[in-house]
Structure 1
Amino acid sequence: MRGSMAALALAFAWLSGSSHAQEITLESVPPVVVSTVPKAGSGDVDPGLTEIRVTFSKAMQNGSWSWSMIGKDSFPETTGAPNYLEDQRTAVLPVKLMPGKTYAIWLNSQQFRNFKDAAGQPAVPYLLVFKTSE
């Protein structure tokens, strides 16, 4: 919760900026997560799922990501290197999931900010939480 509030405060501070009004454009704002597979908050994810996909609001820097853990017990076992799909917006993490387990993964965090758009602007931190079925 504290991380989410910090992310909101950071986004608000960025948007409010200085006393001079800045034009808000898709290019000027930080990238944000627009969808995930599995869907955030899902409680019945197939443990046979072999990759986690996160799509951002704009093209991202290839080779730059921060799949961050809250703790070792809630981070999935990885089975390969992270990568982006051809759209440069969808990050993929190959994983091996266990049945009946809750996973929590930060996509960027206060400490790690390597999910960046093509201009080098870090994405707003996002906490992906889901549980696999038995």
Structure 2
Amino acid sequence: MRHLFPGRFLGLALPLCLLAGPVSAQAVKSPARPSAETPTPVSPVTVMPPTDKPKVVATWPASGETIAPGVLVLKVVFDQQMTPRDFAYGLGADGDKLGCLKTPRLLNDNKTFVLLCTTLPGKTYAVALNPSAPGGPAFSNLAENRAEPSTLTFTTGAGEPVTKLRDAIKAAGLGGLDMPVEEAPDVAKTTP
């Protein structure tokens, strides 16, 4: 009899499960999900440790030096990594106006700025570095500390002028990859 008893319940259990299945699924319904929130955009933050003000450790030409006139790659080397788009230079006191491109280029060492210029024979040039008032553009390190204002003064002789860019690059002690200007991409090649 014991053997028949469970069989009867199994026969009843299947129809009861089918009837109770949907009901129990509704009864055990999971809590309502909150609506999906739109993610809040957050810009990356870089925290820099305190740093010293950048210092000029080398220039071409060196201050007080006499160089050949003509094409000049003006070079300013700092003691630490600098911000590529932060720079300020201008006419120094008691100097002739130096003809240069508007924007210097920061080389791959991230410490050396180069600027393509032209000079005339028998002149004294004074280039002011960070000449403007505080708050304006300035040569700055990665922590945005500004270099102290300084002036680079040099003269040109009356000798044979430098007429080729490669000779000016060599005179500044730069290699072939240290071009003072970047070429703009060829529009015809980049347009689909």
TM-score when normalising by structure 2: 0.51
Which amino acid letter does the alignment assign opposite residue 30 of structure 1? K
Contact 1:53 1:93 survives alignment (8 Å): yes
Give the CA deviation at 1:49.
Answer: 4.0
The match for 2:86 among 64, 80, 84 is 64
Query: For 1:11-64, what per-residue CA distance to the aligned partner results, in whole angstroms no more than 9, with x for missing partners?
Result: xxxxxxxxxxxxxxxx6210010000001111x211134210000010100011
Stretches of structure 2 lacking an aligned partner (at least 5 in a row): 1-49, 159-192
Contact 1:80 1:94 survives alignment (8 Å): no
- In the alignment, the residues of structure 1 paired with residue 128 and residue 137 of structure 2 have an alpha-carbon distance, to the nearest angstrom, of 10
**Partner of 1:16 in structure 2?**
none
The question of 1:124 aligning with 2:151 is answered: no
Which amino acid letter does the alignment assign opposite residue 121 of structure 1? N
The question of 1:38 aligning with 2:61 is answered: yes
Q: Which segments of structure 1 move beyond 6 Å, counting only runs of 4 or more?
A: none
Summarize the Cα distance change of 1:80–1:106 in structure 2 as closer, same or farther, 3 Å threshold: closer
Contact 2:82 2:142 survives alignment (8 Å): yes
**Partner of 1:115 in structure 2?**
139
Give the CA deviation at 1:82.
Answer: 1.1
Which residues of 2 match residues 35-114 of structure 1 at below 5 A? Answer: 35-42=58-65, 44-70=66-92, 74-79=96-101, 81-109=103-131, 111=133, 114=138
Query: For 1:45-93, what per-residue CA distance to the aligned partner results, in whole angstroms no more than 9, with x for missing partners?
Result: 1113421000001010001100121369623111463111111111111
Q: What RMSD, in angstroms, separates the aligned Cα atoms of the two structures?
A: 2.0
Q: How many residues are aligned here?
A: 107
| Structure 1 SS opposite 2:70 | coil
User: For the pair shown, which has the larger CA radius of gyration, 1 or 2?
Assistant: 2
Summarize the Cα distance change of 1:94–1:72 in structure 2 as closer, same or farther, 3 Å threshold: farther
- In the alignment, the residues of structure 1 paired with residue 115 and residue 144 of structure 2 have an alpha-carbon distance, to the nearest angstrom, of 21
Structure richer in helix, relative to its length: 2
Structure richer in strand, relative to its length: 1
- In the alignment, the residues of structure 1 paired with residue 94 and residue 115 of structure 2 have an alpha-carbon distance, to the nearest angstrom, of 16
**Partner of 1:20 in structure 2?**
none
- In the alignment, the residues of structure 1 paired with residue 97 and residue 55 of structure 2 have an alpha-carbon distance, to the nearest angstrom, of 21
Contact 2:61 2:154 survives alignment (8 Å): yes
TM-score when normalising by structure 1: 0.72
Summarize the Cα distance change of 1:84–1:67 in structure 2 as closer, same or farther, 3 Å threshold: same
Stretches of structure 1 lacking an aligned partner (at least 5 in a row): 1-26
How high is the sequence identity, in percent, across the aligned residues? 30
